[in-house]
Structures are given as C-alpha cells and as structure tokens.
Amino acid sequence: MAENEIQQVANVLAEADSVLFITGAGVSADSGLPTYRGVGGLYNDDETEDGVAIEDALSGPMFAAQPALTWKYLWQIASACRRALPNPAHNIIAEIESKKREVWVVTQNVDGLHRAAGSKNLVEVHGHIYDLFCAKCGFGISATELLGNFKAAPDLPPICSKCGGVIRPRVVLFEESLPMRVVHSLDQLAFINFDLVVAVGTTAVFPYIREPIRRAQRANSPTVEINPTETAVSQEFDYRIQSGAAHALERIWSCTNQR
C-alpha cells in the first residue's frame, strides 16, 4: 500500500464536506465474512456442491423453482452474518458520518454491519438478510423469531404459519429487480454533488453501483477505489489503494486526523 496515495486521499477527505461510500462484500471481510468470489471467496469454484453457480443458487428463478436449494445457501450466509461484528472499516465510515456535513453509504451487503456500526444515512440496496416475510401473503417476521439462535438449521424452506407460503428474506436475489424504495433513494442521491466518492471492497459490476462513480467523474469530483485486487473499473478511479478495507481506512483516517 503506497503511503503517498494514502496521504493524498487523506488530504482530499479532510477537505471534503460531503462523501459517498459505496461498499461491497470486501468491507466485511475483516469481520470474518468471506466474499462470494475473489480473495478468500466462499464459492470460488465454478459450481457449488449442488452443481450450480452460487449466482444461480441465489437467484429469483431458483427460489421460485427450488426454494429449499436457495435457502440452503441463504442459511450459510445468514449463519456467518449472525456471528459477525462491525470491523474498523464500518466503524470509521460511521465516525466520518458524525464529523462531516453529509455522508452517505450505499452498500450491496445484506449483513447489516453498517447499521450495527451506527451509519444512519444508509441505503442497503440488496436488503437485509434478517428481515423475513412470506412471499405469498406478505406476513413479516424477524429472523430471530423464526430461526432462533441459528445453531441448528430448521426445516428449509421455512413455511408461513398464516398461509403456508414460503418465507424468504427481504433481500434482492440475482435476476430480481431493485425495490422501488431503493430506486427512489438512489435517485435522491443523484441530486447531491459529493465532494468525494469512495468505492470500498466492491467490483462495481451493477450499473446502479457504477453510475454514482461515473457521475462523480463527470462532475470532476475525486474518486477512490479500495480493493486488494484489481477490478474491471480500477483504471477509472483517480486514486487506487490496493489493500483490505479496514487497514486502508484506518491509515487514511489516521492521516486525516493528523493534519
């Protein structure tokens, strides 16, 4: 990790009144949550043990056809998230929000760790894995109420006690559209001319994740990528810090506070 890049980003952050953080699975890696794919990925092989890619297992069409298979992998993810705590990356982003005029987090993660760390201006674009509801009648229920302490998997998929429909988490599965409330939140952020946009631990493959980065570039606002590996959009950023999220943000925030 180049110290001159750290210092340059720290200087930009110190002068910024408004900051947008765009985060992906990499920001939670230091909480013990592996990414789906990439360094330390949970599903780096081409297929899961059920013979399908994880993106297919966690897709809307698969949930409709074989909800038990989708729930098998949702359970693995939920169980890992249940044990995880916010790491320094989540905590620093929340602290920056408390110090700056306007700081927002747009996260692809469903683990709830930004929320747990205290981030208030938060758009969880893919939902929250512990918020459950019946896909048939809409009956809502908490994950703790339905699934207990997560130590032993229940019969999957869980069934609604009201109508017999299949319970699912309020998350966006692959091949599903974003909820309108999320689309509205992203549209509202488009009206904010952020002084700095920082992508942390994301490959930014989704158009709605990449668009705020490109919008900042069109406005000549500085953009930063923090990721241990190069991504398809790495060359588009003004600054690139090749590092894990927690270590990079700790160094940046320390240098910012030393100014």
In this prediction, residues 192-202 reach a mean pLDDT of 96
For residue 206, what pLDDT is reported?
A: 85
- 69 and 193 assigned to the same domain: no
Give 153's pLDDT tier (boundaries 50, 70, 90): low
Nearest Cα neighbor of 39 from 186, 206, 242 is 242
Q: Find the mean pLDDT for residues 144-169.
A: 80
CATH number for the domain that contains residue 63: 3.30.1600.10
The whole-number pLDDT of residue 66 equals 96
Asked whether residue 19 falls in the same domain as residue 73, the answer is no
Cβ contact 85:31 at 8 Å: yes
| Cα–Cα distance measured from residue 77 to residue 86, given in angstroms and rounded to the nearest whole number | 16
- Same structural domain for residues 78 and 143? yes
pLDDT at 53: 86
Same domain, 202 and 255: yes
Over residues 5-24, mean pLDDT: 96
Where a domain ends, among 171, 195, 225? 171
* Given 114, 126, 128, 247, the catalytic residue: 126
For residue range 73-125, what is the model confidence (pLDDT) as tens digits? Answer: 888 888 777 778 999 999 999 999 999 999 999 999 999 999 999 999 999 99
Active site residue 128: no
43: pLDDT strictly greater than 60: no
The token pair at 242 is 């090749």
pLDDT (average), residues 9-30:
95
Please name which of 139, 123, 146, 143 lies closest in space to residue 131, comparing C-alpha atoms. Answer: 143
- 3-state DSSP of 62-122: HHHHCHHHHHHHHHHHHHHHHHCCCCHHHHHHHHHHHHCCEEEEEECCCCCHHHHHCCCCE
Decide which of 140, 171, 202 is a domain's last residue. Answer: 171
d(CA 184, CA 160): 30
d(CA 186, CA 57): 27
Residues 229 and 193 in one domain: yes
Same domain, 41 and 156: yes
Distance separating alpha carbons of residues 225 and 78, to the nearest angstrom: 27
State the average pLDDT for the chain: 89
For residue 205, what is the domain's CATH number? 3.40.50.1220
Question: Are 54 and 182 within one domain?
Answer: no
Number of other residues whose CB lies within 10 A of the CB of residue 222: 21
Task: For 207-234, write each residue's pLDDT tens digit.
Answer: 888 999 999 999 999 999 999 989 888 9
- Could you tell me if 19 and 198 are in contact, meaning their C-beta atoms sit under 8 angstroms apart? yes
Q: Which of 109, 141, 171 is the last residue of a domain?
A: 171
Burial group, residue 37, by CB count within 10 angstroms (0-12, 13-18, 19+): middle
Domain hosting residue 95, numbered range: 1-32+86-126+178-259
Instruction: Work out how many domains the chain is built from and give that number.
Output: 2
**148, 109: one domain:** no
Indicate the pLDDT class of residue 150, thresholds 50, 70 and 90.
low
Residues 100 and 223 in one domain: yes
Does residue 10 or residue 41 have the better pLDDT? 10
Same domain, 151 and 79: yes
Q: Using a cut of 0.85, tell me whether the model's pTM lies above it.
A: yes
For residue 38, what pLDDT is reported? Answer: 43
Predicted local distance difference test score (pLDDT) of residue 143 = 78
Q: What is the mean pLDDT of the segment spanning 39-55?
A: 67
| Same-domain status, 165 and 251 | no
**Domain identity same for 52 and 163:** yes
Q: What is the helix, strand, coil percentage profile of the chain, to 5?
A: 40, 20, 40
